[in-house]
Structure 1
Amino acid sequence: MDAFQTYHYKVAFALKARSSFGTAFQDFFSTVLEKTHGANFVRVRAFGSLGDKGCDGYLTSSGRVYQGFGKLQDAAVSVATLVQKIENDYKLAATHLNGIMKEWHFAHNLVDGLPTEAVLKLEAMKKDYPETVFGLVSPATLESMTLALSEPDLLQMLGPAATAEDSRNLNLAEVRAAVDALIASISQGAVQSSKIQPVPQDKLAFNKLPDHWVHLIAAGSKNAPHVREYFERHPVAETGDIVAENFSTMYRALKLENMAPGEIMDALYERVTGLGFVSAARQVAAQALLAYLFDACDIFEDHASKVPA
């Protein structure tokens, strides 16, 4: 697996983690643990009124119990409820699994981070229950575990990932298909023509994009002229402006939500590719289109000193 495949799998993982809600996250988490530990990991699920006893998975070699928390779709996280769940789930496991549990680890998909109150609760529990080793599985930890899996396992879980060679072979038919899908989804009104400016050399660094996105956009920039030419030759002259305006609007909205730069780029990428597994050819097309938009229209920022007054 080359570096570009790793970059694409980082994006695929981020989108998977953010969009796996409730039990879907617990299922994804358990699958990663099964592929990592084999028969040493036991997947656990609730059976009717019996519940899961505070255990979503068990690592037999260490007596480690895992309890997962998957954020519900579009629901704000109640800090009080989350803190109470952490302690209640531990107490359930301690009561029902006392004979086999030596460790209790809490896994979650809160990609923006745990609230301070939850961290304080876990630290307090370490003091209150010294007989148990406590641990935390964050999205970053789960990402590392996932990316350490074999290439066949990653293909099964996250789909294909474009290679460096793929990125050098842009398929304009994929660009056309992606643009057609975008145009079909956009409610069109009056469109202002985008003023194309050369991209500043330091724009990637200035916007504090994560390393994998820096590499993907830099590579996509080599294909951006083909995207520009495609828009210039499009039979509907304003197509490029419509797409640029739509992405500019989406970028501003995501920025107002205080999303991190990498998370914003993930969301813009998914706007191009759609949900689910994405072919390598479509990944390269999305990479090129985002690079073109990054270079040519108002997504992400220039230095204030470089913005015309």
Structure 2
Amino acid sequence: MKLQDAYYEQRFENLFLRAKGNEFQAFFERLMGLAYKANFMACRPWGREGDRKNDGFLKSERRLFQVYAPNEMEAKKAIAKITEDFEGAKVHWGKHFDKWAFVHNAMDGLPPHTHGLILDFEKDNPGIELEPWGLEELRLVFRKLSPEDLASWFGPAPTEETKTKLGFKEIQVVLESLAGKALPADATVKAVPPGKIKANDLSESVATLIKNGMMKTPLVSAFLDAWHDETLGDRLAVAFRKRYEHLRETVRPNRIFSKLQTWIGGSERGAPEHEMAVLTVLAYYFERCDIFEEPKDTRP
């Protein structure tokens, strides 16, 4: 995967993981609108009639969508939602669709009972194909987007040229910002063991970003060697570790990576040069301290 593609896909994954409720609905509509243009028809609620169980329609495929993205996915509520929405869709839109997609934000997929319900509905409704759509189905749509669409949504991305031209100045801006944070005084830094990326089940896009950042980590070493406070590097390592341990309690690895990016570089995404510098600093501490888990020793 190319650096630019990995950057955009990681931003997409992060949006999927973060969005709930109406925000997820807007995320879905933007994705489908960019991918399919006028072929996708978004449907807005209208007065007391609502959306008549239609969260979007893909004309060329006669596919009707219903979106469900609660804060917590519960089997009982999901089953009730699927039943209500599918039966309502047949009443209002039955003559228009042959495929019905239930779009959800459950990272681990829908509970088994909901899969059984969908299969039962499909059996009882010959001629209608029912589909659960989660992250991987939406990822396939995302990969249809043109470079222009991606840039319009997420802004410019770091490229191979950005990485090649990355210099001491960009690294300095990021590390000086971190130096201004309150950092622990004690520090013990460990070397990264091989296989760490795989051990943490990081996505292909995140792994690509880390590997590209690692190519420029000598710049971080050079800055820290020249910094007037020789303890800064180790104190930053401890700060990274504590931040990671706090996030690890409730957040998945890919989302942790994103939150660490924000912690390093700020909530407002910067220019490609700034983004590349953030990735480089994050990769440096991925290599040298306890952010993310070490691979288990499988030797007998």
TM-score with structure 2 length normalisation? Answer: 0.87
Percent identity between matched residues is 27
Say whether residues 1:295 and 2:291 are aligned partners: no
Say whether residues 1:267 and 2:267 are aligned partners: no
Task: Tell me how far apart the structure 1 counterparts of residues 44 and 179 of structure 2 sit (CA, whole Å).
Answer: 43
Where 1:99 maps in the other structure, the secondary structure is coil
Task: Tell me how far apart the structure 2 counterparts of residues 114 and 215 of structure 1 sit (CA, whole Å).
Answer: 28
Q: Which amino acid aligns with 2:187?
A: S
Worse overlay, 31-40 or 235-244: 235-244
1:220 corresponds in structure 2 to 213
User: Which of 79, 86, 89 is the equivalent residue of 1:83?
Assistant: 79
5+ long unaligned stretches in structure 2: none
1:11 corresponds in structure 2 to 10
Q: 1:268 to 1:119 in 2, by over 3 A?
A: farther
Where 1:302 maps in the other structure, the secondary structure is coil
1:168 corresponds in structure 2 to 164
Report how far residue 288 of structure 1 moved. 0.6
Q: 1:117 to 1:282 in 2, by over 3 A?
A: farther
Q: 1:211 to 1:189 in 2, by over 3 A?
A: closer
Q: 1:242 to 1:190 in 2, by over 3 A?
A: closer
In the comparison of the two structures, how many residue pairs are matched? 298
Q: What are the superposed Cα offsets for residues 236-276 of structure 1, whole Å, 9 maximum, x if unpaired? A: 444333432232123233434372x4343333233334445
1:192 corresponds in structure 2 to 186
Q: In the TM superposition, what are the counterparts of 1:69-80 in structure 2 within 5 Å?
A: 69-71=68-70, 75-80=71-76
5+ long unaligned stretches in structure 1: none
Where 2:187 maps in the other structure, the secondary structure is coil
Worse overlay, 206-215 or 279-288: 206-215
1:282 corresponds in structure 2 to 274
Task: Report if aligned partners of 2:193, 2:294 keep a CA contact under 8 Å in 1.
Answer: yes
Q: What are the superposed Cα offsets for residues 157-202 of structure 1, whole Å, 9 maximum, x if unpaired? A: 1222111221122244433443455455x5x4743213253x3444
User: Which of 86, 89, 96 is the equivalent residue of 2:92?
Assistant: 96
Task: Tell me how far apart the structure 2 counterparts of residues 124 and 300 of structure 1 sit (CA, whole Å).
Answer: 42
Q: In the TM superposition, what are the counterparts of 1:15-94 in structure 2 within 5 Å?
A: 15-71=14-70, 75-94=71-90
What RMSD in Å do the two structures reach over aligned CA positions? Answer: 2.6
1:111 corresponds in structure 2 to 107
1:138 corresponds in structure 2 to 134
Task: Report if aligned partners of 2:17, 2:255 keep a CA contact under 8 Å in 1.
Answer: no
1:211 corresponds in structure 2 to 204
Q: Which amino acid aligns with 1:37?
A: Y
Where 1:264 maps in the other structure, the secondary structure is helix
Q: 1:98 to 1:214 in 2, by over 3 A?
A: closer
Task: Tell me how far apart the structure 1 counterparts of residues 244 and 184 of structure 2 sit (CA, whole Å).
Answer: 19
Task: Report if aligned partners of 1:79, 1:118 keep a CA contact under 8 Å in 2.
Answer: yes
User: Which of 148, 152, 156 is the equivalent residue of 1:152?
Assistant: 148
Where 1:168 maps in the other structure, the secondary structure is helix
